[in-house]
Structure 1
Amino acid sequence: MKFAHDFDASLRKEEYPQEWLDSAISYRQLKKCIKKVQKELRELGLDPHILEQLWQNVDNNDEIVTIRASPEEPRSRPYHYYISSGGANFKPRLTVAIDPRDGSPLDAWLSPETRNFLKGLPRSPRTEKQLFISAAAGIDGGTSQPTLLSVSEHGNTVELEIGDSTEAFETVEIPLTSDSEFFQILKRELDDLNRLQEMKQKQLTIQINKLGSDITNLTEIASKRSRAEVEAWREIFRLYVDSQIFFSTSKQDTGTRSCSAAQKQLEDFSNGIADKRKRLRLSHNGSAALNSFLYINASLLQFMKFQEINRTALTKIMKKFDKRTALHMQANLPRMLADEQFVAHDLAKAACFTIQEQLLPIVPQINDYLCPVCLTISFKPVRLRCNHVFCIRCLIVMQRAKQDHCPLCRGGVVMEACGENVDAKLMKFLKMKFPAEVKAKQKENQHAAGVDRYGENYDKCAVM
């Protein structure tokens, strides 16, 4: 009862749109369906205690006998609850195997010969015997030809020949209606949540693409204002990448962040932007674009919270179904219901991928274009045959030192490099995107060249 109250309170607290609320898991309604299932089972003489005893399959001598068609299969049960699906409909079925002599439940995989064999096995307290039965070993209640059973007992394997079957078991399917209502409601709501997620993903993609166009227009104008805008967005995106709001790459918490962790990271990012907003020198349109960027991330976080609370409700209602009915529904859940996309963090992954592909490349980060030797921008970048890039100054230094091995891949490609290896396209790109850094690196290289030619004191003026 407490979770139902907390679930409703969480949905109201976040002020979700009515469309979202209409698609949320109807936890209270599903609980009522579970009560109907309980009542129906009791009217059939199958209360949870009886079903749980059948499921445990422990005999009166405290000896567990495990019957399996192969070592990989789970232990057999004297009753089977499975859910067949046809189109949009689910048909839960409860089938019990009974002894035709007295109507008592028995294991549906256990032939009479196998039962007689098990009775003859030596018994000891709390031991487990495993009988691996082949497909031809009479598991359907009767065979016409002798077969071999491979019996594993205390680590020893014994083969037993079984003759004709003299007696067959019977199965009874118990009609249930209330659990069908439960699964129909659950499937309908999961379909609604998936449709809502698909719609939200399309909305976010449209918003991200529009924001990308706006930022591109702001940064491609040939003016001093545009250069200030570029630097502002470069700093914004650098802070965003460092914040790792929705996904973490650190060793402590690698992977998708929880909603609470993502909210904290987003708050830290927003506060960092607020502290630097005056220094960012954004135009009016740039400020509007930044507000849109913050809104996209806040909207994504809000939907993640909505998903998380509904996933929790889904998990709890399934556990409650099994606990109240002892039908062990989760062990037989249809794949089409168990593999719902809603259960994964698909939206966060898709939205973050779109941001990474559509927004971040608009304003490239200088860290992606640093020379691996001097760790500054690759002025006049030279691309070696191994495809690694170094600034021309560092390459000259390596060639003078007769260092032929690439510092990154150790390939013998340094000494063969010449003027044709200068990447003119990349050089033009760096000059356009990082004018200040290129100018500073050019000045630094000129100073280094002067030192090489005239010594350390070449640029010092001596007053006579």
Structure 2
Amino acid sequence: MKFAKRYQEILMTENFPEQWMICMVQYKKLKKLINPVVDELVNFGLLSLDIEEETTNSSAELDFINKAVSSLQLEAANQSKEKDIILDYEIEGSLEKFSTYVVVDSSDETRYNSIVSVLASPPPEENVTDADCTELTKTENMHKQIKIRLKNDFKFFQLLSNELLLLWALNDKLQEEINKELKFLSTILGTVINPTRKKNDLYIWREIFQLFVESKIFTESPTSKVCNDIKTIQEKFKNFTEKVETEFKVKKRFNLQQSSDFYVKFIHLNQFIIKLIYFYTINQMAIRKILKKFDKQTKLSAQEHFPHLLTDNINSKQYSALISTRGGAGVLSASSKPVILNVSSISRQVVYQFGAILFDIIPHIDDYTCPVCTYISYKPIRLDCGHVFCIRCLIKLQRMGQDGCPLCRQQVVLRACSENLDDKLAEYLKLYFPLETKEKQDLNESELVKERYQRVFKKSSDCVVS
């Protein structure tokens, strides 16, 4: 199936919101604008059988062009064979106002004069526009250059640029909506997990969020990089919901109706985000496909130069969210390639927003464990260096005469006393981790009983009956 038909079917069957559909890439319309560019190049004598025959002489050259690894420097691709004409492509200016040029470098005097004569011929009156101007220069060697400002390719890129602006503006608006919804959900979550309430759902939501993070729905394991494969994202989310509802049995475990309502909203928000990522993924594919088709038919290098035009706007909040370079944001090197529509940034924003706005509301046990015993820091002792340990482990360190902090090695252990007890943290842990605190308390008491028994047993064994 041709991409244009497949693209249209996806957009129609997925039931994207009307607001989104207005911003979709008009693939068919862009495709129709390529033929006038081809005709214009043929009229100028820049796209002829001679050039096509030369490019087919080497499969490496053809691959070089189609992939747009660089501008069309055919001479560099096959230095052993002199070419009579070399095409380069330039796109100058900013996204809102730019110009496109074809730079013709010719060593053939006849070919050069032929192109000049075509350019010297006045076009029909109705076609005379600012885009018809040309610039002619001569190089120091035998080559001569003609810089031609095309008209029809400008129309192509103008439409593509406008659609990119629409997509970026839509993303900004939707990200604001997601952020607003997350903040609303955070208020509900704060209520249902409130540990001061006699009935709350603190522990069940801690389990759900822990599973969500471990599922890495919007990231890839084990690197934690953002995931771009929409099918993978959908499959991970499906597995997450099935496990929550079948293994966790959340509907039966929730103590509050508000938690059930929150869960429904949380699932719907994730479905909305996944649909958004899918929408931008297929639009990204459409842009990549249309630029590839443009290069294939015109023998130019839009795939290389058009993305570089976008990076001129990299400092704009609106643009930087969806433009990236493999060489670093806003930094282009010889090997770096800009990405026109960076779907990864959407996933990255989602991961950050979930963590900063929602997940951080529920404290995680890993942030409050004693580095020595790895249990919760029951009766936490904050040393002068700032590191926190449970009181039981600190006493053991002092008994062994170890003065260095196990984390930073500062000599602060032996001088620690009751003043180092962090009362506020102790109350906080008791409030948000009542089960873990009780477990650690029981463990400490069990150790104390064992130590006392050992001391008594040792004393009794030292007794001598005469």
Q: Which category describes the TM-score, using the shorter chain as reference length?
A: 0.7 to 0.9
Q: Which residue number in structure 2 is paired with residue 80 of structure 1?
A: 88
1:208-247 mapped onto 2 (5 Å cutoff): 208-220=182-194, 222-226=196-200, 229-247=201-219
Equivalence for 2:354: 355
Gaps of 5+ in 1: 67-75, 107-138, 143-166, 459-464
What does the per-residue CA deviation read over 1:224-277, in whole Å, with 9 as the maximum and x for residues that have no partner? 212xx11121111111111111013515x7443421211111111111111221
Per the alignment, in what secondary structure is the counterpart of residue 199 of structure 2?
helix
- Find the counterpart in structure 1 of residue 28 from structure 2: 28
**Would the aligned equivalents of 1:380 and 1:392 in 2 still touch at CA under 8 Å?**
yes
Q: Secondary structure in 2 aligned to 1:390?
A: strand
Within the candidate set 281, 287, 294, 1:314 is matched to 287
**Residues 34-60 of structure 1, C-alpha deviations (whole Å, 9 max, x = no match):** 12211222233332654564845459x
> Which residue matches 1:400?
399
Asked if structure 1 preserves the Cα contact closer than 8 Å seen for 2:380 and 2:422, the reply is yes
| Distance change (3 Å), C-alpha of 1:410 and 1:255 | farther
| 1:91 matched to 2:99 | yes
Task: Return the alpha-carbon distance in structure 2 between the equivalents of residues 9 and 263 of structure 1.
Answer: 19
**CA 1:373 to 1:62, structure 2 compared with 1: closer, same or farther past 3 Å?**
closer
243, 257, 271: which one aligns with 2:242: 271
Match of 2:171 in 1: 197
Residues 232 and 282 in structure 1, CA contact (< 8 A), matched pair in contact too: no
More displaced stretch, 216-225 vs 234-243: 216-225
| Structure 1, 437-446 or 448-457: larger mean CA deviation | 448-457
* Aligned pairs for 1:10-159 within 5 A: 10-47=10-47, 50-51=50-51, 53=54, 55=72, 57-58=74-75, 63=80, 78-85=86-93, 88-98=96-106, 102-104=110-112, 141=139
Distance 2:364 2:287 in 1: 42
**Higher alpha-carbon deviation: 182-191 or 341-350:** 341-350
Three-state SS of the structure 2 residue aligned to 1:96 is: strand
The 1-side partners of 2:188 and 2:273 are apart by 20
Which residue of the other structure, out of 258, 264, 274, is the alignment partner of 2:229?
258
Structure 1 position 291 matched with structure 2 position 264? yes
Letter in 2 for 1:214: I
Relative to 1, partners in 2 of residues 1:393 and 1:65: Cα closer, same or farther, differing over 3 Å? Answer: farther
Preserved contact between residue 379 and residue 390 of structure 2 (Cα < 8 Å): yes
Q: Shift of the alpha carbon at 1:439? A: 2.2
Please give the secondary structure, in 1, of the residue aligned with 2:92: strand
* Comparing 329-338 and 425-434, the one that deviates more: 329-338
Q: Secondary structure at the match of 2:443?
A: helix
Percent identity, aligned pairs only, is 32
Alpha-carbon distance in 2 for matches of 1:213, 1:80: 57
SS of aligned partner of 2:407: coil
Q: Compared with structure 1, are the counterparts of its residues 457 and 297 closer, same or farther at alpha carbon in structure 2 (3 Å cutoff)?
A: farther
Cα distance 1:401–1:22, how it changes in 2: closer, same or farther (>3 A)? Answer: same
Contact 2:295-2:301 at 8 Å conserved across structures: yes
- Contact 1:378–1:391, Cα closer than 8 Å, also in 2: yes
> SS state of the match for residue 225, structure 1?
coil
Matched with 1:133 is none
CA 1:332/1:49 → structure 2, altered by over 3 Å: closer, same or farther?
farther
Report if the CA contact (8 A) 2:23-2:167 is conserved: yes
Instruction: Report the 3-state secondary structure (helix = DSSP H, G, I; strand = E; otherwise coil) of the residue aligned with 1:359.
Output: helix
Q: State the distance in 1 between where 2:88 and 2:410 align.
A: 64
Find the counterpart in structure 1 of residue 8 from structure 2: 8
- Displacement after TM superposition at 1:85 (Å): 2.9
Report the structure number with the largest CA radius of gyration.
1
Aligned residues: 389
Q: 1:183 aligns with which of 153, 157, 165?
A: 157
8 Å CA contact 1:78, 1:97 repeated in 2: yes
With normalisation by structure 2, the TM-score equals: 0.75
